Amino acid sequence: MSPLRSFLRILTVIAAVGFLLKIGLPQIPVLGAIGEALVYALLLSAISGPLIYLWVVKGLASQLSDVSSARAAKAKFRALLDTVAEGAVLVDGDGRIRHINRQTENLFAYERTELINQPVEFLVPERYREAHVGHRQGYMANPQPLPQGIGRELVARRRDGTEFPMELSLSPVETDGEPLVLALVTDISERHKVEEQRLLLSTAVEQSTESILITDAEGTIEYANPAFERITGYSRDEVIGQNPRVLKSGLQDGAFYESMWDTLKSGEVWKSAFVNRRKDGSLYRQEATITSVRDSSGRVTHYVSAGRDTTLETELKEQLEKTRLLGD
């Protein structure tokens, strides 16, 4: 209730009670004018006081209690945001920052007071701000929950001008009847580094001149690189799901493979030279190194074989050796 409405209510009560007293209160000549005025004032206070208390004061107290509860709820909500692992930014319909949590301060290196009432584009590199305004206005026109991982990644700007990739989730909220948007910001710099390293490793394996074969713990082929296809004549699709025994030439006995598995199961790296058979049936010599891959609990999950075709090299050595013997 506004102060003006409360004042008008008080006046209404006093005027109504005064009117009724003026009509119903008999004149008492003995008291005189001053005495009558005093009795009138006392009766007016006695009757209007409880009415004013019930109608106005109690109503104000109830509203103050509601305001206090709303403030307590808002304080609790803001305290809850400070426990969130992500940066939390509360934005109003005009795109201005109304509140941030501690994690946002850590992410952007700004104090909370420096960001309040700033446009949210303040946290975006200048070259993206105009486009961001358009995206923000489009979202505000039809705000809906937008979980992380949906939509495009964004770039954020710290206080010192450095930038970092971020992932954003948006949720419409309402505070004191005002529509707001809660943006949760996650720094995904480490994720990008991991992805870059993975891409680098994948590119290195794909472009390696050595045959790379990856199997699961049971020996089922899960990956073969282009060098494997070139050396063996098998396409990747033909060997995925197969066992490396499709390459067996039959020139190595069972003891050879038994020794290989004993070495791998013991956690050691196995390395040897042997003869395999290509898809067309021709034989080729190979030097291979097989390594076991273990998870965090130490359990073997995969085997990685890296090998090179030494057929020409071996044949050349044999030819040179024959030439030397003939020369002797």
Please give the DSSP secondary-structure letter assigned to residue 241.
Answer: T
Helix H or strand E encompassing 166:
strand 163-175
Q: Is residue 232 scored above 50 in pLDDT?
A: yes
Which of the residue ranges 26-40, 65-79, 134-148 would you say has the lowest mean pLDDT? 26-40
* Cα–Cα distance, 258 to 253 (Å, whole number): 9
pLDDT score for 103: 92
pLDDT digits (tens, 9 = 90+) for 110-150: 998 999 999 999 999 999 999 999 988 998 888 888 876 65
pLDDT score for 147: 79
Token pair of 325 as six digits: 């013997």
Residue closest to 74 by CA, chosen among 147, 185, 145, 178: 178
Residue closest to 112 by CA, chosen among 78, 84, 69, 140: 78
3-state secondary structure of 197: helix
pLDDT digits (tens, 9 = 90+) for 189-207: 998 899 999 999 999 999 9
Looking at residues 148-162, what average pLDDT do you find? 81
Cβ(269)–Cβ(289) below 8 Å? yes
Looking at residues 236-251, what average pLDDT do you find? 94
Q: Is residue 78 scored above 70 in pLDDT?
A: no
- Mean pLDDT, rounded, of the chain: 81
pLDDT digits (tens, 9 = 90+) for 89-113: 999 999 999 989 999 999 999 998 9
Cα dihedral 51, 56, 62, 67, rounded to 10, equals -170
DSSP 2-69: -HHHHHHHHHHHHHHHHHHHHHHSPP-TTTHHHHHHHHHHHHHHHHHHHHHIIIIIHHHHHHHHHHHH
Please give the single-letter amino acid code of residue 130: E
pLDDT score for 265: 85
Looking at residues 222-249, what average pLDDT do you find? 95
Looking at residues 165-169, what average pLDDT do you find? 90
Please give the single-letter amino acid code of residue 12: T
Q: Is residue 81 scored above 50 in pLDDT?
A: yes
Q: Is residue 323 scored above 60 in pLDDT?
A: yes
Q: Is residue 31 scored above 50 in pLDDT?
A: no
